[in-house]
Structure 1
């Protein structure tokens, strides 16, 4: 709770600083009582310009002292002896950044020159005819009273908003309730997406917004490249995209749909709401992981126990609501990373679990197991779920910026999930060598059967296994990376430059390691026999590691 209160006080202080230098648009200045009876002559397009000060101009050199952002008022006394100066006064005021220029009626300037009016329109600088009886001291006093009121109004609004948010935190509202509250508070519709644009929550404010939301969801890929905090318009409706972050990591996106553009209070309200939603998203991951543990336990039972009863499998079907018409597929996700990323890999996997598995697969149910750097999932093929997974994995992978690589392999389709072992081996082998073209893609799905045959032929199996064992022993004794280098070299389709880049090593270091592999195993990667022996050895090694 102290953490939330500290943030609350910090936001109040930031608001005080920000609105300490507030301003009023010209349109609001003209609503101040003292300016009743004023007439806007020209320059209407600049009516929204902001006025930070109200300044009196009654000396010829007064223009030189202007700093910009002034609502300038004058009786024309400064130019009474040199009326030609009126011809370029608007241009000079524009150069100085003045927001508006008011001239008293029937004082020293009886008729407003046509050139002033033309320049006022050209430079969008509002030209205003002031009442003859306007008193400067009253105008200055009322202007700064209005400015002071606006500053405090913003402060009070912001304080009220932050207090309401803190009540939400105290009451423990869920994400949907928070989203509905923000939508009500900002008079907007709100969409919440995770970082790969799975829709998490929404609150719709109007039927017009509903149509816009349908367009956004149907064309969500177009929003991938929209910069955060950038405002766009569709059918006269304003759309803003904000990042939901936890530390430096992007957890998702807040999209606001409203009838008015964002102002400072709206933006601060949304920023604070995003902070609370990010806290909820982080906490929800823990709840999801408890459910994953149960799924992993069930998967391990199916994978490792023979002769399970029919009632056991029927119960699984009933829990996940799988039908006899469902066809199943397995995907193995293979994570690749160097030693420097070992401490971070679990954080990446948690994000992967939450975004890819739970948000996409949970609605149809799935089984999951994890072996070392392989994550295997089994699920029914429904709708376009495979295409959705592939697309979202690509988005997530891009956000990782090559710190962690991920490849995946997909098994053949099966009529029942009891064939989970087949799907496991098929997808795992396909994931380990996703880009290798030594064998056809369809043939890689048959490698599970080949591995089974090799396990029955101990002499042949051991001959392949011993090749890799020699590299494993050498790595252990000399703290080398020959086995990892061989694996990456095959994954990279024996492309030396790509392999060096992936391993973050010099080309000469790679050449040395490949020569060392040849020296230790007796097989060269420059011969078909050597490629086959080392390739099969790696496959057997990966199968053993995953068991």
Structure 2
């Protein structure tokens, strides 16, 4: 059942608008609303439609303006609403004259009233008067399409779905900017549920915790390039689900994904600005502390506090580790971890790593335990990658952020050769901490050139693998047989390589003092490789 134009003028945004012509046609019936986006829109109109327009598509075409009311009347429309403002200062006289002649209502839309202010309450009222069936569904999907092109975001779409399903909906995502909880408390999707949604690529019936109680629901995945960025969940709390509810959610999934893409694109742009700004802070290049603090405050960051810096590296067999989709997914996982764990972390990507600035204040979870939990969270979310995390000590002020970052990179890179494949703190580096503090490199370079430097030079010419062999030899506690087994070589080959090392360096591996020189030389070699990475 439709409503009259007279009734419509008392609903939503039309309350602030006025009839300027065709008052005698106020009893015309209205069963849908649409917006004029193109000049020939009238040929596509069906039913007693209210047409909203700014006249922009035809503002230069006097003939089209003159024929507009007559064509709309002939197509069975019920009224014409024109928004005055930047495109037309006032409604053309020809339109008012035609409205009076045909008893066709002409409405002037107040400049402060948006199309959405008019459409949403009117379509809600019309839908309530229609019986459930094809007519109602057609109008609903028209409404959803109009909402999607209105540019108002995902919230109006959710509200429209709630009207149609008569159950509450929430939006969940690892990106805080994409969340819409509607004041409800619900558990995030498990990794198994996320995997199921990615495989199905359609809404699924599930049971999830809502307000602490296990609740039936329909979960619609928001997929972009086969990556799951979140979900829209309809909760069965007011009435039992009908088959139509599933169909509605499935058919609106594309419209929701379009809105999601806008939000993700916006988040990418914001992250790019954050990365550009934070790279200067983390690398210690900020010249003006006051200006840096002010810029940080624009992002909601207090950069004058002490931070513990975490540096995250990822390895992958085959394609690019940091493809755009994978970068977005890793950042998404990092953000979600620190949000759920009640940390106020600052996250950026720098030189192929993810850097986290963690406020160094008392908390239940120490930084080493937080790093271990974060690594597990990342491994579960991206099982195809191998993650390592290095941690620095906390220092005060902006310069302290750079100091902590340098230590985190050292822990990340130098922790790898000493066997720490997961998480390592700078304080656990042992001898590397001492070597990395040398300002005068002449003695270090001299020791390196007398020992491992000779092996590096020999390997470069003969491809003999002496340096990797020495690294494995020390990692295996100087066991010839264990090292040979690890390298898949014969024990005699291993013995020959050790003899060649002694011949080149003059250091015998069986004598403690000379073996220590080789060991220190090897660590200097590892330190030199690492220093070029930050």
Q: TM-score range by the shorter chain?
A: 0.5 to 0.7
Q: Return the alpha-carbon distance in structure 2 between the equivalents of residues 510 and 169 of structure 1.
A: 68
Cα separation, partners in 2 of 1:249 and 1:308, compared to 1, 3 Å: closer
Query: Which string of whole-angstrom CA distances, capped at 9 and with x for unpartnered residues, describes residues 162-181 of structure 1?
Result: 33332222112313333333
The corresponding residue for 1:378 is: 357
The corresponding residue for 2:153 is: 174
CA contact (8 A) 2:282 2:401 kept: yes
1:412 Cα deviation from its structure 2 partner: 1.8
Q: Return the alpha-carbon distance in structure 1 between the equivalents of residues 443 and 525 of structure 2.
A: 13
CA contact (8 A) 1:193 1:252 kept: yes
The corresponding residue for 1:253 is: 231
Structure 1: gaps spanning 5 or more residues = 1-151, 205-209, 500-505
Q: Return the alpha-carbon distance in structure 2 between the equivalents of residues 248 and 434 of structure 1.
A: 35
Question: Which of 250, 261, 267 does residue 288 from structure 1 map onto?
Answer: 267
Query: Which string of whole-angstrom CA distances, capped at 9 and with x for unpartnered residues, describes residues 303-334 of structure 1?
Result: 56679344335435644555598331211011
Question: Which of 191, 207, 213 does residue 232 from structure 1 map onto?
Answer: 207
1:541 Cα deviation from its structure 2 partner: 1.0
SS of the residue 1:341 aligns to: coil
Cα separation, partners in 2 of 1:343 and 1:442, compared to 1, 3 Å: closer
Query: Which string of whole-angstrom CA distances, capped at 9 and with x for unpartnered residues, describes residues 434-467 of structure 1?
Result: 5776699563367785354334223314654894
Query: Which string of whole-angstrom CA distances, capped at 9 and with x for unpartnered residues, describes residues 469-523 of structure 1?
Result: 9769968998x999999999999999xxxx9xxxxxx974999999999778979
The corresponding residue for 1:541 is: 529
Cα separation, partners in 2 of 1:244 and 1:287, compared to 1, 3 Å: closer
Query: Which string of whole-angstrom CA distances, capped at 9 and with x for unpartnered residues, describes residues 362-397 of structure 1?
Result: 9957374512x3332334347779677865653343
CA contact (8 A) 2:153 2:259 kept: yes
Q: Return the alpha-carbon distance in structure 2 between the equivalents of residues 252 and 431 of structure 1.
A: 31
The corresponding residue for 2:166 is: 187
Q: Return the alpha-carbon distance in structure 1 between the equivalents of residues 496 and 357 of structure 2.
A: 40
CA contact (8 A) 1:332 1:374 kept: yes
Q: How big is the alpha-carbon RMSD for the aligned residues of Structure 1 and Structure 2?
A: 5.2
The 5 Å alignment of 1:125-164 reads: 155-164=134-143
Q: Return the alpha-carbon distance in structure 1 between the equivalents of residues 530 and 149 of structure 2.
A: 50
The corresponding residue for 1:366 is: 346
Question: Which of 340, 349, 372 does residue 327 from structure 2 map onto?
Answer: 349
The corresponding residue for 2:103 is: none
SS of the residue 1:414 aligns to: coil
Q: Please state which structure has a larger fraction of its residues in helix.
A: 1
Aligned length: 370
Task: Tell me whether 1:450 sits opposite 2:434 in the alignment.
Answer: yes
Q: Return the alpha-carbon distance in structure 2 between the equivalents of residues 198 and 510 of structure 1.
A: 56
CA contact (8 A) 2:172 2:178 kept: yes
Question: Which of 316, 319, 330 does residue 309 from structure 2 map onto?
Answer: 330
Cα separation, partners in 2 of 1:431 and 1:357, compared to 1, 3 Å: farther
The corresponding residue for 1:415 is: 396
**What TM-score comes out, normalization by structure 2 length?**
0.53
Mean Cα deviation higher: 448-457 or 533-542: 448-457
Q: Return the alpha-carbon distance in structure 1 between the equivalents of residues 356 and 453 of structure 2.
A: 28
Cα separation, partners in 2 of 1:256 and 1:324, compared to 1, 3 Å: same
Q: Return the alpha-carbon distance in structure 2 between the equivalents of residues 250 and 543 of structure 1.
A: 37
Cα separation, partners in 2 of 1:233 and 1:171, compared to 1, 3 Å: closer
SS of the residue 2:533 aligns to: helix
